[in-house]
Amino acid sequence: GIAFIQKVAVNMPFIPWRWGRTFFEDGAQLDFYEPRAVKPIFKSLNFKIDDEFYDFNKNVSITVDDKDDSPIWRLRGSTKDGEEIEARIESYGYVCQIFETQRTRFMYNEYPSKAVFLRIKNRNETLYDLDDLGRHATNCEDAYYSKILLNL
């Protein structure tokens, strides 16, 4: 099987984020990252396979459809050279870790997930899809403050 292991250390306060990473058995990797305050600060979406790196930094869309603690992540973007990516990742588990002080409560939600759709294409030619990449392990995160008290 395939496993995903990570260690998280928290030094509060910090900026909320959405993040996800998929590792494929052939070594390919899909990453997305969206730090946000009230709105996203920036969006990062990329794919690496062998010595090729695709930075999908145009028209990037990272959306989450919450569905009974099992979010569906939808990713889209394009590179400066015209390659396009579309992906859908579905969560099948859920762990919420709460980091709390007297003034803040930070919700760190982890979602073991599975990529159910992935297509990278250049114009009408498919470069990579899930059938090409094989088995994989995916983890997604949605981390945010549920309480912030300010002294004004």
Using one digit for the tens of pLDDT, what is the confidence trace for 25-74? 989 999 999 998 878 999 999 999 999 999 999 999 999 998 777 899 99
Residue 32 to residues 47, 68, 114, Cα–Cα distance (Å): 9, 22, 14
What does the pLDDT read at residue 11? 63
| For residues 122-136, average pLDDT | 94
pLDDT range class, residue 13, cuts 50, 70, 90: low
pTM of the model: 0.86
Do 105 and 144 form a contact (C-beta atoms < 8 A)?
no
CA–CA dist 99, 107 (Å, integer): 7
pLDDT of residue 150 exceeding 80: no
Q: What φ, ψ does residue 109 adopt, rounded to 5°?
A: -100, 125
pLDDT of residue 76 exceeding 70: yes
Helix (H) or strand (E) holding 123: none
pLDDT range class, residue 129, cuts 50, 70, 90: very high
